[in-house]
Amino acid sequence: MPWDTDDSSGLLGHFTGTITDSWFSTDADYQDGKTVCLWWTVEVEEVLQEDYEGQVPEEVTNMLSIGSDWLTEDRETVTHKKGRSKFHSTSVYGKLLNIVLGKAEGYSQYNQGRLIEAELTDGGDDVDIDFGNLESVLQKRGDPEQAKIWNGLRFEFRGMRFNYGKGRDGNLMMSGSKPMPARFLGVVEDAKLEPAKAASKATKATKATAKAAPAPVAEERPDLGTALTTVNATEAQTAFLNGALAEADSFAALSKAAFAIDGVSENSDLLAFVLDQNAGLWTYK
Protein backbone atom coordinates (compact mmCIF):
# COMPACT_ATOMS: atom_id res chain seq x y z
CA MET A 1 0.00 0.00 0.00
CA PRO A 2 1.48 3.39 -0.98
CA TRP A 3 2.16 6.10 1.62
CA ASP A 4 -0.58 8.37 0.33
CA THR A 5 -4.24 9.18 0.84
CA ASP A 6 -7.19 9.40 -1.53
CA ASP A 7 -8.51 12.95 -1.89
CA SER A 8 -11.39 11.95 -4.14
CA SER A 9 -15.00 12.33 -3.00
CA GLY A 10 -15.88 9.11 -4.81
CA LEU A 11 -18.27 11.09 -7.01
CA LEU A 12 -17.78 11.50 -10.74
CA GLY A 13 -16.27 14.94 -11.27
CA HIS A 14 -13.59 14.73 -13.97
CA PHE A 15 -15.04 14.07 -17.41
CA THR A 16 -15.88 15.65 -20.73
CA GLY A 17 -19.50 16.42 -21.44
CA THR A 18 -22.00 18.63 -23.22
CA ILE A 19 -24.64 20.80 -21.55
CA THR A 20 -27.87 19.64 -23.20
CA ASP A 21 -30.40 21.57 -21.11
CA SER A 22 -30.30 24.64 -18.86
CA TRP A 23 -32.97 26.25 -16.69
CA PHE A 24 -33.57 28.37 -13.58
CA SER A 25 -35.48 26.85 -10.70
CA THR A 26 -35.58 26.33 -6.93
CA ASP A 27 -34.80 23.14 -5.06
CA ALA A 28 -36.55 21.99 -1.90
CA ASP A 29 -33.23 20.86 -0.37
CA TYR A 30 -31.49 24.20 -0.97
CA GLN A 31 -32.34 27.07 1.36
CA ASP A 32 -35.86 25.73 1.97
CA GLY A 33 -36.74 25.94 -1.71
CA LYS A 34 -36.83 29.75 -1.66
CA THR A 35 -33.74 30.52 -3.71
CA VAL A 36 -33.53 30.22 -7.50
CA CYS A 37 -30.47 28.45 -8.96
CA LEU A 38 -29.13 27.70 -12.42
CA TRP A 39 -29.43 24.04 -13.42
CA TRP A 40 -27.64 22.08 -16.15
CA THR A 41 -28.19 18.65 -17.61
CA VAL A 42 -24.76 17.46 -18.79
CA GLU A 43 -24.36 14.49 -21.12
CA VAL A 44 -21.33 12.51 -19.96
CA GLU A 45 -18.97 11.57 -22.80
CA GLU A 46 -15.51 10.53 -21.62
CA VAL A 47 -14.55 9.79 -18.01
CA LEU A 48 -11.08 11.20 -17.21
CA GLN A 49 -11.13 10.54 -13.48
CA GLU A 50 -8.52 8.00 -12.46
CA ASP A 51 -9.64 5.15 -10.23
CA TYR A 52 -13.33 6.08 -10.59
CA GLU A 53 -15.13 2.86 -9.67
CA GLY A 54 -18.77 3.88 -9.82
CA GLN A 55 -21.26 3.34 -12.61
CA VAL A 56 -20.86 5.93 -15.35
CA PRO A 57 -24.16 7.81 -15.80
CA GLU A 58 -25.37 8.87 -19.22
CA GLU A 59 -25.96 12.36 -17.82
CA VAL A 60 -25.60 14.34 -14.62
CA THR A 61 -27.59 17.26 -13.22
CA ASN A 62 -25.63 20.19 -11.86
CA MET A 63 -26.89 23.06 -9.69
CA LEU A 64 -25.11 26.42 -9.55
CA SER A 65 -26.10 28.98 -6.93
CA ILE A 66 -26.75 32.46 -8.37
CA GLY A 67 -27.36 34.49 -5.19
CA SER A 68 -30.47 35.60 -3.36
CA ASP A 69 -33.59 37.50 -4.48
CA TRP A 70 -33.55 36.31 -8.10
CA LEU A 71 -36.94 35.42 -9.58
CA THR A 72 -38.08 33.40 -12.59
CA GLU A 73 -41.50 32.97 -14.15
CA ASP A 74 -40.62 30.86 -17.19
CA ARG A 75 -37.49 28.99 -15.95
CA GLU A 76 -35.67 30.47 -18.96
CA THR A 77 -34.71 33.89 -17.57
CA VAL A 78 -34.26 35.56 -14.19
CA THR A 79 -34.78 39.08 -12.87
CA HIS A 80 -33.74 40.50 -9.51
CA LYS A 81 -36.53 41.80 -7.29
CA LYS A 82 -34.34 44.71 -6.17
CA GLY A 83 -33.36 45.62 -9.71
CA ARG A 84 -29.84 44.23 -9.57
CA SER A 85 -28.38 43.49 -13.01
CA LYS A 86 -25.30 41.48 -12.01
CA PHE A 87 -24.78 38.15 -10.26
CA HIS A 88 -22.80 38.38 -7.03
CA SER A 89 -19.29 36.95 -7.22
CA THR A 90 -19.74 34.88 -4.05
CA SER A 91 -22.28 32.69 -5.88
CA VAL A 92 -21.00 29.72 -7.88
CA TYR A 93 -22.43 31.22 -11.08
CA GLY A 94 -20.74 34.53 -10.25
CA LYS A 95 -17.39 32.77 -9.85
CA LEU A 96 -17.86 31.08 -13.23
CA LEU A 97 -18.70 34.40 -14.89
CA ASN A 98 -15.64 36.05 -13.29
CA ILE A 99 -13.42 33.51 -15.05
CA VAL A 100 -15.29 33.88 -18.34
CA LEU A 101 -14.84 37.67 -18.18
CA GLY A 102 -11.15 37.41 -17.31
CA LYS A 103 -11.65 38.90 -13.83
CA ALA A 104 -10.27 35.74 -12.19
CA GLU A 105 -7.96 32.92 -13.28
CA GLY A 106 -9.61 30.18 -11.25
CA TYR A 107 -12.50 29.34 -8.97
CA SER A 108 -10.59 30.27 -5.78
CA GLN A 109 -11.42 33.96 -5.52
CA TYR A 110 -11.25 36.76 -2.96
CA ASN A 111 -14.42 38.56 -1.96
CA GLN A 112 -14.22 41.58 0.33
CA GLY A 113 -10.77 40.50 1.47
CA ARG A 114 -11.80 36.91 2.24
CA LEU A 115 -10.60 33.96 0.18
CA ILE A 116 -13.32 31.57 -0.92
CA GLU A 117 -11.26 28.54 -1.86
CA ALA A 118 -12.19 25.94 -4.47
CA GLU A 119 -11.01 22.46 -3.51
CA LEU A 120 -10.75 19.61 -6.02
CA THR A 121 -12.77 16.53 -5.09
CA ASP A 122 -11.97 14.22 -8.02
CA GLY A 123 -8.56 13.15 -6.76
CA GLY A 124 -6.75 14.77 -9.69
CA ASP A 125 -3.96 17.30 -9.96
CA ASP A 126 -4.43 21.05 -9.80
CA VAL A 127 -6.64 22.37 -12.56
CA ASP A 128 -5.60 24.91 -15.20
CA ILE A 129 -8.65 26.80 -16.44
CA ASP A 130 -8.75 27.35 -20.21
CA PHE A 131 -11.94 28.93 -21.56
CA GLY A 132 -10.47 30.12 -24.86
CA ASN A 133 -13.06 32.17 -26.77
CA LEU A 134 -15.95 31.24 -24.45
CA GLU A 135 -16.70 34.86 -23.58
CA SER A 136 -17.32 35.86 -27.22
CA VAL A 137 -19.37 32.69 -27.81
CA LEU A 138 -21.64 33.45 -24.84
CA GLN A 139 -22.04 37.14 -25.68
CA LYS A 140 -23.25 36.25 -29.17
CA ARG A 141 -25.82 33.89 -27.63
CA GLY A 142 -27.45 36.28 -25.19
CA ASP A 143 -27.14 37.52 -21.61
CA PRO A 144 -26.10 35.81 -18.34
CA GLU A 145 -29.74 35.98 -17.17
CA GLN A 146 -30.74 33.60 -19.98
CA ALA A 147 -30.23 29.91 -19.21
CA LYS A 148 -30.20 28.83 -22.86
CA ILE A 149 -26.82 30.47 -23.59
CA TRP A 150 -25.16 27.38 -22.08
CA ASN A 151 -26.98 24.77 -24.16
CA GLY A 152 -24.76 22.86 -26.58
CA LEU A 153 -21.48 23.94 -24.97
CA ARG A 154 -18.93 21.20 -24.40
CA PHE A 155 -16.41 21.26 -21.53
CA GLU A 156 -13.92 19.26 -19.59
CA PHE A 157 -15.37 19.26 -16.07
CA ARG A 158 -13.53 18.96 -12.76
CA GLY A 159 -15.11 18.01 -9.45
CA MET A 160 -14.77 20.67 -6.75
CA ARG A 161 -16.34 22.18 -3.68
CA PHE A 162 -16.15 25.67 -2.19
CA ASN A 163 -14.77 26.49 1.25
CA TYR A 164 -16.40 29.68 2.53
CA GLY A 165 -14.55 29.65 5.84
CA LYS A 166 -16.16 29.76 9.25
CA GLY A 167 -19.63 31.18 9.75
CA ARG A 168 -20.86 33.31 12.63
CA ASP A 169 -21.46 30.16 14.65
CA GLY A 170 -17.84 29.09 14.17
CA ASN A 171 -18.68 26.14 11.97
CA LEU A 172 -17.00 25.62 8.61
CA MET A 173 -19.20 26.49 5.64
CA MET A 174 -18.52 24.09 2.79
CA SER A 175 -20.53 23.50 -0.38
CA GLY A 176 -21.22 20.06 -1.78
CA SER A 177 -19.05 18.62 -4.54
CA LYS A 178 -20.07 19.51 -8.09
CA PRO A 179 -18.52 19.25 -11.58
CA MET A 180 -17.45 22.67 -12.84
CA PRO A 181 -16.26 23.70 -16.33
CA ALA A 182 -12.46 23.75 -16.55
CA ARG A 183 -11.72 23.68 -20.28
CA PHE A 184 -13.95 24.89 -23.11
CA LEU A 185 -14.10 22.30 -25.91
CA GLY A 186 -16.40 24.02 -28.37
CA VAL A 187 -20.04 24.28 -29.43
CA VAL A 188 -21.43 20.85 -30.20
CA GLU A 189 -24.76 22.08 -31.57
CA ASP A 190 -23.00 24.01 -34.36
CA ALA A 191 -21.56 20.81 -35.76
CA LYS A 192 -24.93 19.08 -35.48
CA LEU A 193 -27.23 21.82 -36.73
CA GLU A 194 -25.31 23.73 -39.38
CA PRO A 195 -25.07 20.80 -41.85
CA ALA A 196 -28.82 20.29 -41.48
CA LYS A 197 -29.46 23.97 -42.24
CA ALA A 198 -27.17 23.81 -45.25
CA ALA A 199 -28.89 20.68 -46.49
CA SER A 200 -32.28 22.34 -46.09
CA LYS A 201 -31.18 25.37 -48.09
CA ALA A 202 -29.71 23.15 -50.78
CA THR A 203 -32.95 21.18 -51.02
CA LYS A 204 -35.01 24.35 -51.42
CA ALA A 205 -32.65 25.68 -54.07
CA THR A 206 -32.78 22.41 -55.97
CA LYS A 207 -36.58 22.39 -55.96
CA ALA A 208 -36.72 26.01 -57.14
CA THR A 209 -34.45 25.38 -60.14
CA ALA A 210 -35.35 21.78 -60.99
CA LYS A 211 -37.64 22.78 -63.87
CA ALA A 212 -35.20 25.26 -65.34
CA ALA A 213 -31.97 23.28 -65.13
CA PRO A 214 -30.93 19.73 -65.99
CA ALA A 215 -30.36 17.37 -63.10
CA PRO A 216 -26.76 17.62 -61.90
CA VAL A 217 -24.48 14.63 -62.04
CA ALA A 218 -23.96 13.29 -58.52
CA GLU A 219 -20.41 13.78 -57.31
CA GLU A 220 -18.79 10.54 -56.19
CA ARG A 221 -18.26 10.47 -52.45
CA PRO A 222 -14.82 9.44 -51.14
CA ASP A 223 -14.51 6.18 -49.23
CA LEU A 224 -14.36 6.37 -45.45
CA GLY A 225 -10.59 5.91 -45.30
CA THR A 226 -10.05 8.86 -47.62
CA ALA A 227 -12.59 10.98 -45.73
CA LEU A 228 -10.82 10.31 -42.42
CA THR A 229 -7.43 11.10 -43.96
CA THR A 230 -8.84 14.42 -45.14
CA VAL A 231 -9.65 15.39 -41.53
CA ASN A 232 -6.20 14.28 -40.34
CA ALA A 233 -7.25 11.15 -38.48
CA THR A 234 -4.35 8.92 -37.45
CA GLU A 235 -4.18 5.25 -38.44
CA ALA A 236 -5.10 4.23 -34.89
CA GLN A 237 -8.06 6.64 -34.81
CA THR A 238 -9.22 5.36 -38.21
CA ALA A 239 -9.14 1.77 -36.99
CA PHE A 240 -11.01 2.58 -33.78
CA LEU A 241 -13.58 4.72 -35.59
CA ASN A 242 -14.26 1.93 -38.08
CA GLY A 243 -14.87 -0.41 -35.16
CA ALA A 244 -17.10 2.07 -33.38
CA LEU A 245 -19.11 2.62 -36.55
CA ALA A 246 -19.62 -1.11 -37.03
CA GLU A 247 -20.88 -1.60 -33.46
CA ALA A 248 -22.96 1.57 -33.01
CA ASP A 249 -26.74 1.20 -33.29
CA SER A 250 -27.45 4.94 -33.15
CA PHE A 251 -25.78 8.27 -33.89
CA ALA A 252 -25.64 9.03 -30.15
CA ALA A 253 -23.88 5.74 -29.44
CA LEU A 254 -21.37 6.38 -32.21
CA SER A 255 -20.63 9.90 -30.95
CA LYS A 256 -20.10 8.65 -27.41
CA ALA A 257 -17.75 5.90 -28.59
CA ALA A 258 -15.83 8.34 -30.77
CA PHE A 259 -15.30 10.76 -27.87
CA ALA A 260 -13.63 7.94 -25.95
CA ILE A 261 -10.97 7.51 -28.64
CA ASP A 262 -7.72 9.24 -27.77
CA GLY A 263 -7.18 12.53 -29.57
CA VAL A 264 -10.55 12.81 -31.32
CA SER A 265 -11.81 15.71 -29.22
CA GLU A 266 -8.54 17.62 -29.75
CA ASN A 267 -8.83 17.47 -33.57
CA SER A 268 -11.46 20.07 -34.51
CA ASP A 269 -11.82 18.85 -38.12
CA LEU A 270 -12.18 15.22 -37.06
CA LEU A 271 -14.59 16.17 -34.28
CA ALA A 272 -16.80 18.09 -36.72
CA PHE A 273 -16.81 15.07 -39.05
CA VAL A 274 -17.88 12.80 -36.19
CA LEU A 275 -20.64 15.18 -35.07
CA ASP A 276 -22.02 15.80 -38.57
CA GLN A 277 -25.01 13.47 -38.57
CA ASN A 278 -26.02 14.40 -42.11
CA ALA A 279 -22.73 14.17 -44.01
CA GLY A 280 -20.15 12.82 -41.58
CA LEU A 281 -19.04 9.51 -40.09
CA TRP A 282 -22.58 8.28 -39.33
CA THR A 283 -23.54 8.39 -43.03
CA TYR A 284 -21.02 5.60 -43.72
CA LYS A 285 -22.99 3.20 -41.54
pLDDT in tens, 86-133: 999 889 999 999 999 999 999 988 876 778 888 888 888 888 899 999
DSSP-assigned beta bridge partners for residue 157: 15, 181
pLDDT in tens, 169-183: 777 677 778 999 999
Q: Would you call 59 helix, strand, or coil by DSSP?
A: strand
What pTM was estimated for this model as a whole? 0.63
Range list of H helices, the chain: 92-100, 134-141, 188-209, 224-230, 235-247, 251-259, 268-275
> Which one, of 204, 199, 173, lies nearest residue 276 by Cα?
199
Top pLDDT among 39 and 32 is at: 39
